[in-house]
Amino acid sequence: MPLSNLNEQQRAAVCHVDGPLLLLAGAGSGKTRVITCRIAHLLCTLKVPAEQVMAVTFTNKAAREMKQRTEEMVGRKRCKGMVVSTFHALCMRILKEDIDQLGYKKNFSIYGTADQTRLIRDICSGLHQGDQKIDADRILWLISDAKNGLQPPEAFRPRFDDEYGRLAAEVYPRYQRALKAFNAVDFDDLIMLTVRLLQERPAVLDKYQQRFRYLMVDEYQDTNAAQYQLLRLLSASHSNLCVVGDDDQSIYGWRGADLGNILDFEKDFPGTSLIKLEQNYRSTGNILSAANALILHNQKRKDKALWTAGGPGKPIHCICCDDGEDEARMVVESIQAERYADECRYSDFAVLFRTNAQSRAFEEQLRYDNIPYVLIGGQQFFDRKEVKDVLAYLKFLQNPQDEINLLRILNFPKRGIGTTSADHLIRHSLAENRPLWQVLKDAEEITELGDKVRAAIVDFVRLIERFRRRFQLGKLSDTARELLSDLALEEEIYRTAEDPEKGRRRADNVAEVINAMASYEEREATPSLSGFLEKVSLLDRDEPGRNDKESKLKKDAVVLMSLHASKGLEFPHVFLVGLEDDLLPHKKSVVTDIEEERRLCYVGITRAQRTLTLLHAAKRKKYGQLQVRVPSPFLEEIPKELLNRIDSDTPQPLDPDQQEQRATSFFAGIQQMLAD
């Protein structure tokens, strides 16, 4: 395999084979190329069987790209058997083979956020009588945090000794018992149960240690305690663990990522080889100098500095605006000027902000100037209500013990089985210690139910049993289409929609579930309903907004997105806005972790390829009132000679080349208008 297109450090990383390797890959240093070349080196040069190679990352998109690039490099046949997946998909694979050794059935369900929240509420209603309002999402976060730290219910110690911490300690064991009773797991269980399986079953651990002889992990700085322990177990017998990451881009501490995993790697894995990738292929010298100067103020980091073989590039503009509206106007005017000067596409421009609430002014200004834009984020496809309703039918058809989804579909579409009737059914289920589905099948014997309700339940049971058989025998997408037709779901959606346009969008979303199922059938040799639901469940665990992110970024439109969402992306022209104290760094993070806020700013700066503009406002509205703002302390940490400071009312001068380009573009536009 040719290595001539790699630099010296990249070649050293590719050729390293045995023992632990810590690859510190700075922003824009070509880490994906290094990982794929390293896999190719193992497969082609060293003739390592593909079945012994495993690469793990955090998103399905990253896993797909890594696998595709490797296949393009060495051929699909040579990659057959290699595992390239997310942590959750890897653990799903392991549990599907051996979860029965922990007392679960192999056809377990995976509960998404909506199912988890509903289960938490049910448990809380049993613990607390009256009208006390419980924030189920907060309790779920505390339980998730415990699982990511590998704390089982009996060892759970909440971070905060407050009302919700104490409530979570009560709910967690009941929640876990309920999941087990429903033969279900949540996403945090996928990793926690896999770790438990490997710890408690030496034969299973040995099997996977022998199967995966060479492990590679991308974005290692984002791993939590559970993921760290999983990797330790899998690599313990051979220590062939290569981790790739950048401590300076660790920005997910709020969701459990442990920076210590990468900082302490050499201590935790004796004999580690350390290689730094510091040559940057993305940004200009000025941009890298600003990023290096900023991040040097962090204490918890590995020593490294990005550099480029290219020139310094244009100076970094730092603009002080009057207020938030003026900030948006300045950004839009700069975009228009740059497009005239360099004939750029709209998609070459990105506006990055600390909080999503900052997008409003930019959206309004872009709309006013008729400039196309995309806002990255928003509700994900599989989280939309109408989609969740369809999936609830499919999940219950696949797993009759899934009572959460049974209750969701029992009266949807409305069939006359209201909350009072559902309460009678649940009480009978509890009193007789029988699954709710069995109670439904014998509902004609429950005298508290009216004749119409009993008839509706009989029809519902017949429908479920008929389609359970159909899904085992027929084509998935055709069967699902018939199910939706029998339910008259489209008519129900239009009937309950606020207006026809919303009804159309929701009906289209339901149709898209069928499209997704048909695409799954085309890809899989032996498609099944459980397999389709597994794919959907794993898709539901990527970074926020990922379902629309990829398609939106392909459009020729200005990109608006949060700094967290921008990680891993790059743009020719970047506007980093709201560089003010209380915004960046954010007021809620200053006390807890100012260094993570600085890393977040560093990530924003290193997204820029050619130009970087930093903006802050002298005043900004809060609850409708203008308040004086203080520039971010991060601006003072960037050397003054790198910044071209501009007030918003100061015209930005153009150099001679820009003047000539703008004039050429202007006259070309006039000629085109005359021709039209």
Q: In b/e form, how buried is each residue of 617-641, taking b as 16+ CB within 10 angstroms?
A: bbebeeeeeeeebebbbbbeebeee
Q: In b/e form, how buried is each residue of 346-355, taking b as 16+ CB within 10 angstroms?
A: bbbbbbbbbe
CATH 1.10.10.160-classified regions of the chain: 109-182
Distance (Å, whole) CA 294 – CA 609: 17
Examine the pLDDT at 651 and tell me if it is beyond 70: no
Distance (Å, whole) CA 625 – CA 552: 34
Q: Which two tokens stand for residue 562?
A: 């949060």
Fold designation for 3-98+191-277? Rossmann fold (3.40.50)
Average pLDDT over residues 344-373: 89
pLDDT at site 499: 59
Active site annotation includes 219: yes
Active site annotation includes 31: yes
CATH 1.10.486.10-classified regions of the chain: 383-540
Q: Which amino acid is at 420?
A: T
Q: Backbone phi, then psi, for 109, in 5-degree steps?
A: -95, 160
Average pLDDT over residues 638-658: 70
Catalytic member of 32, 59, 279, 661: 32
| CB-neighbour burial class of residue 19 (10 A; exposed 0-12, middle 13-18, buried 19+) | middle
Task: Give the start-end residues of each E strand in 130-252.
Answer: 184-186, 214-217, 241-245
Examine the pLDDT at 659 and tell me if it is beyond 60: no
Catalytic member of 71, 115, 189, 219: 219
576-608 pLDDT, tens digit per residue, is 999 999 889 987 665 568 999 999 999 999 999
413 cis-preceded (ω within 30 degrees of 0): yes
3-state secondary structure of 550: helix
Active site annotation includes 308: no
| CB-neighbour burial class of residue 591 (10 A; exposed 0-12, middle 13-18, buried 19+) | exposed
Alpha helices (H) in 524-621, listed in sequence order: 529-539, 546-553, 563-566, 590-605
Percent of the chain at pLDDT > 90 equals 55
Catalytic member of 71, 115, 188, 218: 218
Distance (Å, whole) CA 197 – CA 101: 8
CA distances for 202 relative to 87, 111, 207, 608, angstroms: 21, 28, 9, 49
Active site annotation includes 249: yes
633 cis-preceded (ω within 30 degrees of 0): no
pLDDT at site 676: 41
Examine the pLDDT at 653 and tell me if it is beyond 60: no
| Nearest alpha carbon to residue 253 among 226, 278, 233, 223 | 223
Alpha helices (H) in 304-418, listed in sequence order: 324-342, 359-368, 385-398, 403-409
pLDDT at site 657: 53
| Nearest alpha carbon to residue 386 among 255, 532, 239, 495 | 495
Active site annotation includes 258: no
pLDDT at site 231: 97
pLDDT at site 552: 75
Query: How long a stretch of residues is the chain?
Result: 676
pLDDT at site 500: 62
Looking at 139-148, 543-552, 614-623, which range is the least confident one? 543-552
Examine the pLDDT at 543 and tell me if it is beyond 60: no
Distance (Å, whole) CA 259 – CA 223: 8
Catalytic member of 304, 329, 541, 607: 607
Examine the pLDDT at 563 and tell me if it is beyond 60: yes
Maximal CA-CA distance, the chain: 89
94-150 pLDDT, tens digit per residue, is 999 999 999 998 889 999 888 898 899 888 887 764 446 678 888 898 999 899 999
The mean of the pLDDT values for the chain is 87
3-state secondary structure of 412: coil
Name the region of 19 (left: φ>0; alpha: ψ -120 to 50; beta: rest).
left
Helices and strands (H, E) in the chain, number of each type? 30, 17
| Nearest alpha carbon to residue 215 among 198, 192, 240 | 240
Place of tokens 């070309």: 668
Task: Give the start-end residues of each E strand in 196-315.
Answer: 214-217, 241-245, 273-277
**pTM of structure:** 0.80
Distance (Å, whole) CA 628 – CA 463: 63
Catalytic member of 31, 304, 354, 506: 31
Examine the pLDDT at 646 and tell me if it is beyond 70: yes
Cβ-contact 57, 244 below 8 angstroms: no
Cβ-contact 645, 320 below 8 angstroms: yes
Catalytic member of 86, 229, 249, 398: 249
- Residue numbers in the known binding site are 25-32
Q: Backbone phi, then psi, for 75, in 5-degree steps?
A: 100, 140
Q: Which two tokens stand for residue 472?
A: 């085992």
| Nearest alpha carbon to residue 252 among 265, 243, 261, 242 | 261
Enter the CATH code of domain 383-540: 1.10.486.10
pLDDT at site 605: 98
Distance (Å, whole) CA 128 – CA 110: 27
pLDDT band of residue 163 (cuts 50, 70, 90) is confident
Q: Say which residue, 551 or 581, is predicted with more confidence.
A: 581
Q: Which two tokens stand for residue 606?
A: 């290193």
pLDDT at site 592: 63
Distance (Å, whole) CA 663 – CA 158: 64
Torsion of CA 31, 37, 39, 42, to 10 degrees: -140
**Which residues neighbour 489 within 8 Å (Cβ) at sequence distance 6 or greater?**
389, 390, 413, 510
pLDDT at site 663: 46
3-state secondary structure of 303: coil
CA distances for 511 relative to 5, 27, 138, 586, angstroms: 47, 40, 33, 41
Number of CB atoms found within 10 A of residue 516's CB? 19
CATH superfamily entry for domain 307-372+556-651: P-loop containing nucleotide triphosphate hydrolases (3.40.50.300)
Examine the pLDDT at 494 and tell me if it is beyond 80: no
Looking at 2-16, 289-303, 436-450, 543-557, which range is the least confident one? 543-557
Distance (Å, whole) CA 41 – CA 43: 6
pLDDT at site 272: 96
What is the end-to-end Cα distance of the chain in Å, rounded? 54
54-64 pLDDT, tens digit per residue, is 999 988 888 98
- Residue numbers in the known binding site for ATP are 25-32
379-427 pLDDT, tens digit per residue, is 556 777 888 899 999 999 999 889 889 989 998 888 888 888 888 888 8
Give 45's DSSP letter: I
Options 2.60.40.1840, 3.90.470.10, 1.10.10.160, 2.60.120.560; which CATH number does 109-182 get?
1.10.10.160
**Positive or negative, the Cα torsion across 606, 607, 612, 618?**
negative
Looking only at the bridges linking them, the beta strands covering 373-375 and 273-277 are unpaired
Cβ-contact 652, 614 below 8 angstroms: no
CATH 3.40.50.300-classified regions of the chain: 3-98+191-277, 307-372+556-651
Q: Backbone phi, then psi, for 57, in 5-degree steps?
A: -140, -170
